[in-house]
Amino acid sequence: MKLNLAMKNRFAILIAISTAFFCSERLVADEPTTLEKPRMLMVTQSAGFCHGPVKREGDELISPAERAMKQIAARSGLFDVDYTQDVATHLTRENLQRYNLVAFYTSGDLPIAPENLKYLLDEWVRQPGHGFLGFHSASDTYKNHEAYWDFIGGSFDGHPWGQGTKVTIRVHDTSHPAMKPFGDELVLKEEIYQYVNWQPEKVHVLMSLDMAKTDKKMPYHVPVAWVKQVGEGRMYYNNLGHRNDTWENEQFLKSIEGAVRWIQGKEEGDATPNPEVSQEQQKLSVEAANAAGITVESIEAQKRANQARQAANQARKKAEEESSKRTESKQDATKSDK
């Protein structure tokens, strides 16, 4: 049976549409408006805990965080954006040549080939006009990979301030493009991380948890956002973003736009390391916590008590399991005798 030309064209169109639909689950791409416009690869893959803002649920091929980034790109005109949850395929040396920006809202040890991860951290990000943006659990990614946590500035070490906690965040550098939308301070409900491998001597802290104004107090500095110069490229990290409604917060969205403008050199912002800010915030945090009767010693004592309870619970559970096994063995032996 021969097909006429019109019918052949219709089949070709249907095949093209079907292919685009099924492939888009892995890499969703906006059509570039110009060849010259910068382009972002937004990675929202979770190898650890999967946060709500990166979940593509139902028939939607886009998560809340991806939708927000697409909105920022469209209204600012600063960049186009692709988003992927398949780094093994899309975060490669070859594919990175298409991008000026890479954003991570990720977790765990991602399946990026070692040579591609090394290229991203050692070469790609250091090029002029290139930049990396990390959100929330980007610091809970590759926690045992020193090259990564040294690059991003620290590693997740728990979140004493859960997602329903109302926190006050103090902005230290109100003139930085990424901080201008927040003013002097920001009050919201968010999940706030504390860190290990924190390196204040290598980063420029932009904002921190205001321990005096936050109900749950801890005797140590808790940074929330920072930047650093990486070769001729730039890195921006912000702890915020655990909650879906954060990705609808206009101040937060404008701060991302400001961070992109800073990375692109369209607005100036300081990236000089400011360890003195961390030192001052450490002092203020200790004072606020001590005034509430919380000290480093009391926290350590509580940790030891918790560990002792866990050990006792595990020992009791093990004893109960062994007792149950002995009872079952006796019952089996009794049945055999009968």
Are 158 and 192 contained in the same domain? yes
Name the residue among 189, 243, 239 with its Cα closest to residue 216: 189
* Number of domains forming the structure of the chain: 2
Please give the Cα distance from 41 to 56 (Å, whole number). 17
Q: How high is the pLDDT of residue 27?
A: 62
Are 193 and 224 contained in the same domain? yes
Residue 14 in any domain: the answer is no
Please give the Cα distance from 257 to 68 (Å, whole number). 11
CATH label of the domain that carries residue 225? 3.40.50.880
Q: How high is the pLDDT of residue 1?
A: 40
Residue 76 in any domain: the answer is yes
Are 136 and 151 contained in the same domain? yes
Are 35 and 136 contained in the same domain? yes
Length of the chain: 338
Are 161 and 280 contained in the same domain? yes
Please give the Cα distance from 158 to 191 (Å, whole number). 10
Are 261 and 301 contained in the same domain? no
Domain that holds residue 127: 24-288
Residue 7 in any domain: the answer is no
What is the identity of the amino acid at 276?
A: E
Are 98 and 181 contained in the same domain? yes
Are 274 and 299 contained in the same domain? no
34: which residues sit within 8 A by CB, 6+ positions away?
Answer: none
Q: How high is the pLDDT of residue 5?
A: 42
Residue 8 in any domain: the answer is no
Ramachandran area for residue 281 (φ above 0: left; ψ -120 to 50: alpha; else beta): alpha
How is residue 189 annotated by DSSP? E
Give the helix ranges, DSSP H, for 39-197.
Answer: 64-76, 87-90, 93-96, 114-122, 146-152
Residue 6 in any domain: the answer is no
Packing angle of the helix pair 250-263, 64-76 (nearest 10 deg): 60
Q: What angle do CA 163, 63, 124 make, to 5 degrees?
A: 95
Q: How high is the pLDDT of residue 338?
A: 61
Residue 170 in any domain: the answer is yes
Please give the Cα distance from 21 to 260 (Å, whole number). 30
Segments of the chain scoring below 70 in pLDDT:
1-35, 335-338
Are 114 and 227 contained in the same domain? yes
Q: How high is the pLDDT of residue 308?
A: 81
Q: Count of CB atoms within 10 A of residue 34's CB?
A: 7
Are 318 and 196 contained in the same domain? no
Ramachandran area for residue 79 (φ above 0: left; ψ -120 to 50: alpha; else beta): beta
Chain segment 265-279, per-residue pLDDT in tens: 999 999 999 999 999
Q: How high is the pLDDT of residue 304?
A: 86
- Burial label for 155, CB within 10 Å (0-12, 13-18, 19+), is buried
Chain segment 19-44, per-residue pLDDT in tens: 333 333 346 655 444 447 999 999 99
Please give the Cα distance from 134 to 152 (Å, whole number). 8
Are 85 and 137 contained in the same domain? yes
Please answer whether residues 136 and 51 qualify as being in contact, where contact means their C-beta atoms are separated by less than 8 angstroms.
yes
What is the identity of the amino acid at 128?
A: P
Are 250 and 323 contained in the same domain? no
Name the residue among 293, 184, 280, 278 with its Cα closest to residue 222: 278
110: which residues sit within 8 A by CB, 6+ positions away?
Answer: 43, 45, 47, 87, 91, 141, 142
Q: How high is the pLDDT of residue 25?
A: 39
pTM above 0.85, yes or no: no
Residue 64 in any domain: the answer is yes
Q: Count of CB atoms within 10 A of residue 114's CB?
A: 8
Residue 185 CA: distances (Å) to CA of 119, 168, 170, 322: 37, 7, 5, 56
Residue 333 in any domain: the answer is no
Please answer whether residues 29 and 95 qualify as being in contact, where contact means their C-beta atoms are separated by less than 8 angstroms.
no
